[in-house]
Structure 1
Amino acid sequence: MDALFQPVQPFQPFRNAPLYWRSTLVPGGDMLTAEYNDHTFAPHWHDAYTFACIVAGAERYAYRGGEHVADAGSIAIIHPGKVHTGARETDFGWRYRVFYLPVGFVQGVQRQLESPLETPGGSASDDDAMPWFGEHVIYDVQAMERLIEAHRLLQIGADPLLAESVLIEAVSMMLVRHAQARVPSLEMHRDAVRVETMKARLSADLTQSLSLTALAEAVDLSPFHAARLFSRETGLAPHAWRNQLRLVRALPALRAGASATDVALAHGFNDLSHFTRYFRRAFGVSPGKWRAARGT
């Protein structure tokens, strides 16, 4: 098994060396085994739960209105749809193993804890709560060990019976020790309603040209105030939020093996270079390399 973590800095800086991969045991999910030295992730989000196990070095990231540092031996949690960044905290960079677990998978493990007849891949219902991790950076040696072991077993294509058992045990441990059902949101205030209206307008047709003036008219605001409100509430300017949504919606087609050029045009990017530039900033690799990630 890999060493759990390396609190002492390496003699040489890490490289920018990401490897995305997949497993049939986590349908719709992605995993990342990587080290980074000077790569900086632009503000972006994932439509999955991110469990990032830092095994060496340290990462600094902006998330939910604050700056956080995840160092060796910690697990950084990012919730689905939440904007965040990523960069090195030390001169050496950082190394980590990351799970991008679909919401339905995590909810399935949660239901499994409550009922022995449930399966982690089961369909989520409207009544299923979104497990919420109150701590952004978690220090839990046992959970860290199980997550890393599950990640390693999935990556090498180990016996599925063993790999899935360790994965479910690891996610269960995280849920039992560190998660709670998220408190239902209160009725949205007027500005929040406006932001949701703008999101709906931005996402209705990702290939359609849309001006800020037209977006603002949908919520009865000036372009200046609409842009400022949207950025304040989401952490991204309207055009950046729309491009991130394009990326997220492009992932299933890429995962299925579609051409990166075809995917780019189908989701509103001008061309492949436009798509690639945004993709690298969010995921650290080109869409072609991400698409080529092997499965186990």
Structure 2
Amino acid sequence: MDQPRFSDRARYWRSALLPGMDMVTAEYYEHEFSPHWHEAYAVPVIEAGAEMYAYQGRRHVAEAGTVPVINPGEVHTGSRAMEVGWRYRVFYIPVGFMHHLAGEIAAAAQPMPWFPVDVIRDPDLAKRVAHAHRLLEGLADSSTDKASAGDFPPRALSSNDPPGGDPLAAEMALIDAVSTLLVRYALRHPDADRPKADPPRVALMKERLAADLTEPLSLTDLAAQVGLSAFHAARLFTQATRMPPHAWRNQLRLQRALASLRQGAPVAEVAAACGFTDQSHFTRHFRRMFGVPPGRWQAGNAAPR
């Protein structure tokens, strides 16, 4: 019997066990993620179907049982690789947590961890990541403070999960999954070894782009900041970040919008404060990156009151 295709729905939430970490359970069929990046490590586990994504200049296919890690700040896309679509669970793990845990494991200061470009095909790791995600989702479902997140109904705990949700077991499973990922696959951050054309100028352009997200800014003005022509500034920035300056700035706007949405600010106010021309412009970009409209994301990520 042919497998029915997945729908387009996602459920975002957070856990008090690790402040700053977002999690999502989602399935997609028609939705395609436009090029975007995250400030955190994206650690997904594909549960069914398969996802195709562009990353580091190549196209990859992540099938069920794989862990296609995306490093922070790295541009990538996402779409179905099978007719049915794909279903996955994702951790968005803060850089600070990952870096600190790497040092704890090594009992010494470590460089920022970096993970391979290729899809990680490790059934044992996939099982650990999925187990930790399910336990944390179970805690969110049983919490009296949680806001129902998106389209997915509360998930029933399986026979392998502690009854009623056990924070101790959930946190242990999270540490186990992330430390296993680090021990088996972490590499040294490539920036120290990979020559770049002009990192100080790129850093200055990023600083100017981020200084005031509502400021109208031309490419000529941005280029003047670093003493280059508009053409050379655009080429330098795009080579370093894999995004032209305007697209990179829109991604930053979306990242900065999350805190205000989480605090319950109206979507229209958040859109204006982050420099989007109007709410529909904001919503269009937000959905391309997160797979849901900002109002639905906000419903599942409201700060506890």
- C-alpha separation between the residues in 1 aligned to 2:231 and 2:292? 34
1:41 is displaced (CA, Å) by 0.4
Residue 133 of structure 1 aligns with an amino acid whose one-letter code is F
The equivalences for 1:113-128 within 5 A come to 113-115=105-107, 128=110
Is residue 92 of structure 1 aligned with residue 84 of structure 2? yes
1:260 aligned residue: 267
The equivalences for 1:234-273 within 5 A come to 234-273=241-280
Comparing 228-237 with 56-65, which one deviates more in the overlay? 228-237
Comparing 146-155 with 99-108, which one deviates more in the overlay? 99-108
- C-alpha separation between the residues in 2 aligned to 1:10 and 1:112? 47
- C-alpha separation between the residues in 2 aligned to 1:37 and 1:154? 25
| Structure 1 residue matching 2:92: 3-state secondary structure | strand
1:70 aligned residue: 62
- C-alpha separation between the residues in 2 aligned to 1:80 and 1:217? 28
CA contact (8 A) 2:51 2:85 kept: yes
| Equivalent residue for 2:286, pick from 269, 273, 279 | 279
Comparing 197-206 with 185-194, which one deviates more in the overlay? 185-194
Q: Give the paired residue count.
A: 278
TM-score calculated relative to the size of structure 2: 0.85
| Structure 2 residue matching 1:276: 3-state secondary structure | helix
Deviations 1:191-232 (A, max 9, x none): 333322221211111111111111122233322332233223
Deviations 1:236-264 (A, max 9, x none): 12111111111111212222332222222
- C-alpha separation between the residues in 1 aligned to 2:203 and 2:301? 37
Is residue 106 of structure 1 aligned with residue 98 of structure 2? yes
Alignment RMSD, CA only? 2.1
2:158 aligned residue: none
2:116 aligned residue: 134
1:148 aligned residue: 130
The equivalences for 1:111-260 within 5 A come to 111-115=103-107, 128-157=110-139, 158-183=165-190, 185=192, 189-260=196-267
Residue 182 of structure 1 aligns with an amino acid whose one-letter code is H
For structure 1, the 5+ residue unaligned runs are 1-8, 119-126
Deviations 1:139-183 (A, max 9, x none): 111111111011011001121011111111111111111113325
